Structure 1
Amino acid sequence: MIGAVIAISIVLIVIGGLSLSLVSYFRLQRHRADAVAMAHYRKLAEEAVANQAMLRGELAELAARLGAVEKLLRSVE
């Protein structure tokens, strides 16, 4: 009877270890996939910031041109 309890305990420990290993492996794979997605989002955010800075520069240039046109129109009147 004691031998059966020891055998069952050993089997349960081995199965528990395998289960824990599988869960850890798939959690690691999910974490890696999340890291790749985050790197992609970070790159997208950096591109968005660069585009926004470029657009602000163009907007400032257009505002300057508009100011020059308004000054010209006022001088004509």
Structure 2
Amino acid sequence: MVPSWRRPAMSGRGVWLRTRARLRRFPELLAGCGEQAAAYGRCVAAAAAGPAELRRDDCLEEFRALRECFARAAKATAK
């Protein structure tokens, strides 16, 4: 039996090509979600301002809206 470190990688070149293609689409998806991204950014900036620390769920609602927008945009542009 061949040791696992000597076996060819299962991921291969195709995985990197698909990943790179998805990453190239990211700016386009982000542009379609500008309103949600801006709301999330404003929330994070406001929560981090001042002496208080940014807490985990401070901007959960805005983050979920942004994530849903990305998911819709990615689904709509999927091949």
Same fold (TM over 0.5): no
Greater C-alpha radius of gyration? 1
Determine which structure has the larger helix proportion and give its number.
1
Question: Could you state the TM-score of these two structures normalised by the residue count of structure 1?
Answer: 0.29
Question: Could you state the TM-score of these two structures normalised by the residue count of structure 2?
Answer: 0.28
